[in-house]
């Protein structure tokens, strides 16, 4: 990557958790200056780096930036950031575009887009897939919904974070993320079963991803999850509680259209069990612990 030193646009970043902080550091490395905010002061302090300054509220971030990114954990938090008492809508100098990288309910997305449009702020729903590792490498999958003018304004910045695909009008990015989650989160459970099967038959499980890589079972996720599950490395790259939140959202969205999604329903049950057992702060790979290991 051709590094530049703080000559790009000033970008706002609201939400500095596992993913948001990594996106922020990626943008700093690409030469942007950043204004950030998080309710957790420790997260803001941890971001101390050349080119980064903090603001005391979402409104304070918005007043200093034409483009503001949001990366928070749930729809209520997105709503508060956008239109709450200290939200973007209350800014003395509103930004041009707000980009929501959170996984947010489609109805909330559309409601907030209308609210911000009242003060000429464009909304782009741009949830991501790939996690902090992909954010650091600039290889996120970014699926976006919004007006063409807004997409054009942010495209150069988004391409610094990964593959950026305009899926349609506001809400289309979140709808695509539902498809992503149906594929990914059910796969967490299938990969866990596959590992236990390999272990039951005494197969050298660490060789499975390489052995299957060029066949139909090969995937980006298989080597990552197999490695974590074999090592029982459940330090969070994404929290199990967030996986559950997304599965609940997916289940609700499917029900709204009368869709029966039996595989995602089973994954939902498993992650309800996992979080119910107090494992919500661990990585989603910990779902493998719900499947007893047998002797070969």
Q: Determine if residue 34 is left, alpha or beta; phi over 0 gives left, psi from -120 to 50 gives alpha, anything else beta.
A: beta
Query: Confidence band (pLDDT; 50, 70, 90) for 8?
Result: low
Residue ranges and CATH numbers for the domains of the chain are 10-169 (3.40.50.720), 175-290 (1.10.1040.10)
Mention every residue, 6+ apart, whose C-beta is less than 8 A from residue 191. 221, 222, 225, 226, 229
Res. 6: pLDDT tops 50: no
**Percentage of residues in the chain with pLDDT exceeding 70?**
97
Would you call 162 helix, strand, or coil by DSSP? strand
**How far, in Å, CA of 28 to CA of 245, rounded?**
30
E strand or H helix at 166: strand 162-168
Q: Which pLDDT score is estimated for 296?
A: 58
Q: Angle, to 10 degrees, between the axis of helix 172-200 and the axis of helix 240-256?
A: 120
Joined tokens for residue 19:
């993913």
**How far, in Å, CA of 162 to CA of 129, rounded?**
10
**pLDDT tens digit string along 153-170?**
999 999 999 999 999 999
**Percentage of residues in the chain with pLDDT exceeding 90?**
94
DSSP letter string over 23-92?
A: HHHHHHHTT-EEEEE-S-HHHHHHT--TTEEE-SSHHHHHTT-SEEEE--SSHHHHHHHHHSTTSGGG-S
Pairing between β-strand 97-100 and β-strand 140-145 as defined by DSSP bridges: unpaired
Distances (CA, A) of 133 to 89, 162, 233, 238: 32, 12, 15, 11
**pLDDT tens digit string along 206-241?**
999 999 999 999 999 999 999 999 999 999 998 999
Res. 128: pLDDT tops 90: yes
Res. 59: pLDDT tops 90: yes
Query: Confidence band (pLDDT; 50, 70, 90) for 1?
Result: very low
Pairing between β-strand 140-145 and β-strand 162-168 as defined by DSSP bridges: parallel
Q: Which pLDDT score is estimated for 9?
A: 74
Q: Is the dihedral of CA 237, 164, 2, 69 positive or negative?
A: negative
Res. 3: pLDDT tops 80: no
Query: Confidence band (pLDDT; 50, 70, 90) for 48?
Result: confident
**pLDDT tens digit string along 78-114?**
999 999 999 999 999 999 999 999 999 999 999 999 9
Joined tokens for residue 76:
């209520």
**pLDDT tens digit string along 164-202?**
999 999 999 999 999 999 999 999 999 999 999 999 999
Q: Which pLDDT score is estimated for 294?
A: 84
Do 135 and 26 form a contact (C-beta atoms < 8 A)?
yes
E strand or H helix at 142: strand 140-145
Q: Nearest 5 degrees, angle CA 30-CA 33-CA 38?
A: 110
Q: What are phi and psi of 108, to 5 degrees?
A: -65, -45
Res. 17: pLDDT tops 50: yes
Q: What is the reported pTM?
A: 0.91
């Amino acid at each position: 990557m051709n590094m530049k030193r703080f000559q790009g646009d000033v970008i706002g970043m609201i939400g500095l958790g596992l993913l948001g902080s990594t996106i922020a550091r990626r943008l700093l490395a690409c030469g942007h200056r950043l204004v950030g905010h998080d309710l957790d002061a420790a997260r803001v302090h941890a971001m101390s780096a050349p080119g980064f300054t903090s603001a005391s509220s979402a409104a304070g971030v918005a007043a200093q930036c034409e483009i503001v990114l949001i990366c928070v954990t749930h729809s209520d938090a997105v709503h508060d950031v956008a239109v709450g008492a200290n939200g973007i809508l209350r800014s003395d100098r509103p930004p041009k575009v707000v980009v929501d990288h959170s996984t947010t309910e489609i109805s909330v997305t559309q409601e907030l887009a209308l609210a911000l449009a009242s003060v000429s702020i464009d909304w782009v729903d741009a949830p991501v897939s790939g996690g902090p590792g992909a954010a650091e490498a600039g290889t996120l999958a970014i699926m976006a919904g919004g007006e063409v003018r807004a997409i054009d304004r942010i495209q150069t910045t988004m391409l610094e974070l990964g593959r950026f695909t305009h899926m349609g009008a506001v809400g289309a990015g979140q709808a695509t993320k539902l498809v992503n989650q149906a594929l990914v989160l059910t796969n967490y459970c299938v990969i866990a079963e596959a590992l236990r099967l390999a272990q039951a038959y005494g197969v050298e499980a660490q060789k499975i991803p390489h052995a299957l890589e060029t066949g139909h079972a090969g995937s980006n996720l298989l080597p990552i999850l197999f490695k974590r599950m074999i090592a029982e490395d459940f330090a969070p790259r994404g929290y199990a509680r967030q996986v559950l939140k997304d599965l609940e959202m997916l289940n609700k969205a499917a029900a709204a259209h009368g869709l029966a999604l039996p595989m995602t329903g089973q994954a939902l049950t498993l992650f309800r069990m996992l979080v119910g057992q107090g494992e919500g702060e661990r990585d989603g790979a910990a779902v493998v612990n719900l499947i007893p290991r047998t002797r070969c």
